[in-house]
Structure 1
């Protein structure tokens, strides 16, 4: 089968590789749609932290935002899975450690991450093998495009959930990238008045097209009380700024990651009685995301700028935007 392989920094190509065989407890999925994100770009550039910590190494087959149809099952897996449209969790815990047994498999010390960590091959390929326990069924009301947006949506769902938003609250999201925009959509669906702060006219203009209450440049943010602040940026100064902006007694959610350490003053957290929430993974939010997509409460599809072929993907990862691409931040691959 054909798969996207990153062989080293700034070297990506489509290769012919062996088709996966399902081990016991696993399924093989015919991938129909997969997305790329900032993590995938970091693997291409060589900046991804796991490359330096030893949790990942070249060559690597990326792809952790996907949907498809189950084609085969391994021993111990019910045959009824065959033919079912699914997406899957990225975080594959060991299943036996204290964290896994208490429902925190997404932060298991020994976890694999599909297309990211521990050598588990990703879904930017014609097929992917994953544990049956990681699967989530997709209802007919969630089409292929939305199905491949469940994984990033799970992160955003958890960010909005972590912000403890109530009807009529005012929420500020820092960073209008994919996760920031999805977080804003989930916050809006929860009844908040949503504003975004960003930089770059193209991303700000696109965010404005989605109908939020306010979209602001770096020097334009109005002096308003913010009941929740979600930092979905990669700017090292914004975690501290988020803490300054949030109303006393409310919550800041940190889901973005800067390339260098950020500094916050914990005295601000204590003296203003603020709760700070970190979100690593969408795992606990995947089911809720599917429900929101299925009901129409949140529609992630406007964020998709273009759907390309596997052969076009190396150029997309390197920063190319194909002719006719929309203004959204997300690219999908149809397989």
Structure 2
């Protein structure tokens, strides 16, 4: 792909840091659903968790953006439809998604074109900036759980999003537990101060809300079975195959179920929590590599010395 040029309403960002996400790995393996629905096609430049410095602006863009460290919304709506005009551009039927949908190039590169309307200025460094997008997903999930301080939350899946949900909820004074499978991920969650359990170990506690941040098809049903009657279940993980959930379980327990797509609407909240120090996601980053190591990372290869932290960052300047 050729070097990007800032068109009308756009900037070009020099990428400082980009996170590798499960969605990126699915593009690498060919499993990503959009490849099979026609919403994405090869070749595609992936990467949507990013931070960088504005290097060029379009002719109609305020020049004061130059030199500012930024991140941005992954979801780029058309700006004209009812959903966009109603502030729901992440649900626009014609949206582009950076590094994911309809060919908009991603941030696993030295430069990235972005509409200026999607930008958020960063008062934090590039490492934290590249954690804003996944953090924004967690912000929205925790908001959807709607718990006050002292309530108890169960998070299914101690991966990046699940751990970020735990961190943001704990910052609100919520008691957080995590449910997982692998000993390594559970021990890492415990190292952050959270009780973490296998299904066999999970104590019989009242869970006022459950967030499913896993990719296991059986866990949506499990989430509903574990939540307190009248509680809330938030679905942010996406399984590779359909999940079965008897809606009678929702009705008979008077459960509110919420789906969360993307960090749109949560970016400013994540930035504020990082900048204030209320949430510190840095321990989730196992390593930072160069672009020459991306293929190995996408294929699931990890160096033993990286440990069990779930997130790998890429510095394309290396």
TM-score normalised over the length of structure 1: 0.93
Q: Distance in 1 between matches of 2:220 and 2:308?
A: 27
> Secondary structure of 1:270's match?
helix
Matches within 5 A, 1:167-182: 167-182=149-164
Deviations 1:296-318 (CA, angstroms, capped at 9, x unpaired): 11111100010001001111111
Deviation per CA, 1:234-269, whole angstroms, max 9, x where unpaired? Answer: 111110010011111111000001111111121121
Helix, strand or coil at the partner of 1:284: coil
Alpha-carbon distance in structure 2 between the residues aligned to 1:313 and 1:326: 18
Bigger Cα displacement from structure 2, 318-327 vs 260-269: 318-327
Residues matched between the structures, number: 316
CA contact (8 A) 1:33 1:145 kept: yes
For 2:216 and 2:268, locate their aligned partners in 1 and report how far apart those are by CA, in whole Å. Answer: 30
Aligned to 2:89: 105
Q: Distance in 2 between matches of 1:184 and 1:193?
A: 9
| 1:329 paired to 2:310 | yes
Corresponding residue for residue 225 of structure 2: 244
State whether residues 304 and 326 of structure 1, in contact with CA within 8 Å, keep that contact through their aligned partners in structure 2: no
Q: Does 1:42 align with 2:23?
A: no
Query: Is the 1:30–1:128 Cα contact (8 Å) retained in structure 2?
Result: yes
Match 1:127 to one of 90, 96, 111: 111
Asked whether 1:198 is paired with 2:180, we answer: yes
CA distance in 2, matches of 1:41, 1:330: 12
TM-score by length of 2: 0.98
The whole-number CA distance in structure 2 between the counterparts of 1:245 and 1:323 is 35
The match for 1:227 is 208
Distance 1:326 1:264 in 2: 35
Would the aligned equivalents of 1:306 and 1:326 in 2 still touch at CA under 8 Å? no
**Deviations 1:108-164 (CA, angstroms, capped at 9, x unpaired):** 00000000000000001000001000000001xx22111100000000010111000
